[in-house]
Amino acid sequence: MESPLLFLLLLHTVITITAASAQPHSNITLNSSLTTAIAGARNPSWLSPSGDFAFGLLPLPTNSSLFLLAIWFANLPNTTTVVWTPNRDNPLPPNSSVILTSDGRLSLRDPSGTEVWNPGSSAASYAAMLDTGDFVLVASDHSVLWESFSDPTDTILPTQTLSPNSKLVAKLSEDDFSDGKFKLAVQPDGDLVFYLVAVPTGFQYNSYWTSGTNTSNSSLVFDVSGSIHLISPTKALLTTLTSATTKSTSDFYHRGTLDSDGVFRHYVHPKPSAIAGAAAEWVIMDFKPADICTNMITSLGSGVCGFNSYCTYDTNKKVVCQCPVGYTWIDPNRAYMGCKHTFTMPSCISGVQSEGFQMVRVDNINFWGNDYDRLNPMTEADCEQQCLEDCFCATAIYDGQNNCWKKKLPLSNGVKASNVNGTAFMKLGNYDNLPIVNVTKKRIWLLPGFLALGGSVLLNIIVLYLTYMFLRASKRKQRHQLKDSILGPNLKAFTYKELEEATKSFGEELGRGACGTVYKGYLGPELTGTPYLAVKKLRDFQPEIDKEFANEVKSICQTHHKNLVRLLGYCNQDTNRLLVYEYMSNGSLASFLFNGIRPPWEQRVGIILGIARGLRYLHEECSTQIIHCDIKPQNVLLDVNFVPRISDFGLAKLLKKDQTRTNTGIRGTKGYVAPEWFRNAGISAKVDVYSFGVMVLEILFCRRNVEKDMDEEKALLTFWVSDCYNDGRIDALVEGDEEAMADMGRVQRFVMVALWCVQEEPAMRPTMGQVTQMLEGAVAINPVPPV
């Protein structure tokens, strides 16, 4: 009993080892099998006689413990290019195998031996991997029972024919082999059609390209001269899909692949034996359709790119999908899922709802379809305003012909290209993730710290007037010239052209402020670790802005702290002033806190501590003290790990350590501004401590300092917290926040620190060093005097 079993096992092992070795196989005999390789070992395969193609089990590029049965180019030194796979939606675990059984069936089996795929033919007498890339099962009379060419995946090879009713289906993404969003169908009515399909159900949406031919039962043929044609049943040439006839199929590998971006491309790659020194990579010779971004308009589905994203091209004409300003990927690794907005859209409960929203203009963009209203005639400005005031409207497209198209979410068929006439006005929350946006001067007039000064209307008016005079007087004093010599040695000086290219001609706006606009840029990973940059373009020709530029560059270039956004470079060319910052992928603290979802407690605690350390560094650890002057959640950005990074030193004032008076204008934003700003008194680092205190309360309780819609007693957070603190009811503040309620000791400590920070008298406020120690629990905190 024992020895036959042992023999069989041994036989199996011997066959497996023989099969797995890299010898070219001519005929694959019955009882042959391949089993997945252990990690790092050579992929088990059956090679074609020339060694050009391999049939075997290949690990996924994204997960080496999942395997595809595949045919691939085996002779390319640096890449594995898969041309066929039957189990792309169902990759298998280790110890899976493919067997040509003793009764002539090809069978793909999981580790338990259960068959998961077979090509549906039996009684083969042998199989062969041919030099064309075709894998065949052959009967004893030499007829072909089945071939991989008859069951294509996303690629067609020379000598292969796609018969009527066959199709190619693109991969989902470059790295994800599962069924994707695009299909090329050879229809029995003779039309060759590209379709958009739903993932994962495969529902067929509209077509985005068709050959327009109508000869029944036509086939798509890849001939050996290097052209892909549609031919009639009588072999008449109907149309040519792609062609690379200058590259012979004897010296070059050819393939036509429906790529994951929906474009069918004809690639060539020099064979190793041919033409030494030729580019050892796949080169695109031809492709269809010519302009997929503008060709694709579907009534259902998202279009080429996912919902709320738009289609554009990189410099190599490759399709790229991007999220518009105010939107971010639902899953950055799966762009086809589309983008989500990073702010709360108006709820429409109260009808007109423009408060708290702004419109951002994007040129040469359109989102086709999904209009719910068309206004005509309309000016551009009216179009923008109409959408802002309409709570249903997410984006309005002004088409340059007096039409204003209003659109709801999700946006579909997005395209941005120089030949697109539409201008979009995209609605954004004011607390959207707009990194490095300055406060507009207008907002300063709105009720800055007045509530903190008491309720008298007369007093408010007097303060308002004084503030105005103070601002005017101080603005006139600012005159300075930028000298390049003050710039630090580690900064990169960019040319304007470099930044223009990096931002795709300043195409993607991240935010806009009083002195400039911030754009998303791409410069490649070597500079920052992430490939993105935030490029702040300052407006031209204003000497005051020139001064600002000098200040900003000077003060940031010597700071290095993990809680500060790093300045990477600048451009100071002709009339152009630009600053280049690290790009912070998680947006601003404001959008993180105020988007309606309460972030985890521990994360909020970490953010408070991080900001405190960043500020302590600016105030106490730099060689020259830096006062930020505009600390608020919009100016704290979150990096990929949600570490808080203080940004926007644009108007920060450099102070010698002993200096307490300044003559700059008021910076800062309502609700965060320390009262001494309004007294024309000395401005010290304590203004930041005040703003920090306000912000700590906002982070603790996930609401803005000023909430006009709340009950009067709760409308101003600083007042409400101090009332609750004085009445011993801190628990009322964290109602509903179970994580915080479980950590009341820390809530109490942080509230006390915050209340010390917002003391009216600057001298009463602690320094950031003391604040950090108190927050960390390193020192005891005195009871807070009533505010």
Ligand X SMILES: *[C@@H]1O[C@H](CO)[C@@H](O)[C@H](O)[C@H]1NC(C)=O
Catalytic residue positions, numbered: 630
24-32, 235-243, 494-502, 756-764 -> range binding ligand X (CB under 6 A)? 24-32
Please report whether residue 281 would count as binding ligand X according to CB under 6 A: yes
Decide the pairing of beta strands 636-638 and 252-258: unpaired
Closer residue to ligand X in complex, CB, 95/159 = 95
Query: Least distance in Å: CB of 138 to ligand X?
Result: 7
Helices (H), 617-767: 686-701, 712-715, 717-726, 738-741, 744-757
Does residue 275 contact residue 257 with C-beta atoms inside 8 Å? no
Q: Which of 18, 21, 23, 65 binds ligand X (CB under 6 A)?
A: 65
Q: Which residues contact 768 (CB under 8 A, 6 or more apart)?
A: 612, 615, 616, 618, 619, 620, 685, 688, 689, 692
Please report whether residue 102 would count as binding ligand X according to CB under 6 A: yes
**Number of residues near ligand X (by CB under 6 A):** 22
Please report whether residue 112 would count as binding ligand X according to CB under 6 A: no
Query: Least distance in Å: CB of 289 to ligand X?
Result: 15
58-66, 430-438, 633-641, 755-763 -> range binding ligand X (CB under 6 A)? 58-66
Closer residue to ligand X in complex, CB, 60/471 = 60
Please report whether residue 280 would count as binding ligand X according to CB under 6 A: yes
**By three-state DSSP, how is residue 623 classified?**
coil
Please report whether residue 30 would count as binding ligand X according to CB under 6 A: yes
Query: Least distance in Å: CB of 195 to ligand X?
Result: 20
Question: 81 forms bridges with which residues in the sheet?
Answer: 73
22-30, 328-336, 435-443, 454-462 -> range binding ligand X (CB under 6 A)? 22-30
Please report whether residue 575 would count as binding ligand X according to CB under 6 A: no
E strands, 271-332, are 283-288, 310-313, 319-322, 327-329
- The CA-atom distances, in angstroms, between 7 and each of 12, 255, 510 are 8, 44, 69
How would DSSP label each residue in 387-456? HHH-TT-SEEEE-SSS-EEEEPSSP-SEEE-TT---EEEEEEETTS--TT-PPPHHHHHS-SSHHHH-S-
Q: Which of 21, 23, 31, 440 binds ligand X (CB under 6 A)?
A: 31
145-153, 419-427, 510-518, 755-763 -> range binding ligand X (CB under 6 A)? 419-427
Closer residue to ligand X in complex, CB, 281/707 = 281
Query: Least distance in Å: CB of 103 to ligand X?
Result: 9
**By three-state DSSP, how is residue 559 classified?**
coil
Helix and strand tally (H, E) in the chain?
Answer: 16, 44
Enter the tokens of residue 446. Answer: 């709105």
Closer residue to ligand X in complex, CB, 214/350 = 214
> Which of 259, 192, 266 is CA-nearest to residue 228?
266
Please report whether residue 217 would count as binding ligand X according to CB under 6 A: yes
Please report whether residue 289 would count as binding ligand X according to CB under 6 A: no
Residues 120-179 that bind ligand X (CB under 6 A): 126
27-35, 250-258, 371-379, 434-442 -> range binding ligand X (CB under 6 A)? 27-35
Please report whether residue 234 would count as binding ligand X according to CB under 6 A: no
The DSSP output letter for 596 is: S
Residues 716-755 that bind ligand X (CB under 6 A): none
Phi, psi dihedrals of residue 663, rounded to the nearest 5°: -125, 25
**By three-state DSSP, how is residue 290 classified?**
coil
Q: Which of 13, 23, 26, 114 binds ligand X (CB under 6 A)?
A: 26
Does residue 286 contact residue 244 with C-beta atoms inside 8 Å? yes
> Which of 107, 126, 105, 106 is CA-nearest to residue 115?
107
Please state, in angstroms and rounded to a whole number, the distance separating the CA atoms of residues 247 and 234. 27
Please report whether residue 316 would count as binding ligand X according to CB under 6 A: no
Enter the tokens of residue 359. Answer: 């419109």
Q: Which of 66, 514, 609, 710 binds ligand X (CB under 6 A)?
A: 66
Q: Which of 273, 421, 726, 782 binds ligand X (CB under 6 A)?
A: 421
Decide the pairing of beta strands 492-493 and 516-522: unpaired
Number of neighbours of residue 223 by Cβ within 10 angstroms: 17
Please report whether residue 333 would count as binding ligand X according to CB under 6 A: no
212-220, 323-331, 515-523, 697-705 -> range binding ligand X (CB under 6 A)? 212-220
> Which of 264, 224, 651 is CA-nearest to residue 471?
651
Closer residue to ligand X in complex, CB, 33/588 = 33
Please report whether residue 78 would count as binding ligand X according to CB under 6 A: yes
Closer residue to ligand X in complex, CB, 311/557 = 311
220-228, 284-292, 413-421, 758-766 -> range binding ligand X (CB under 6 A)? 413-421
Please report whether residue 419 would count as binding ligand X according to CB under 6 A: yes
Q: Which of 13, 21, 23, 63 binds ligand X (CB under 6 A)?
A: 63
Residues that bind ligand X (CB under 6 A): 26-27, 30-31, 63, 65-66, 77-78, 94-95, 102, 111, 126, 214, 216-217, 280-281, 419-421
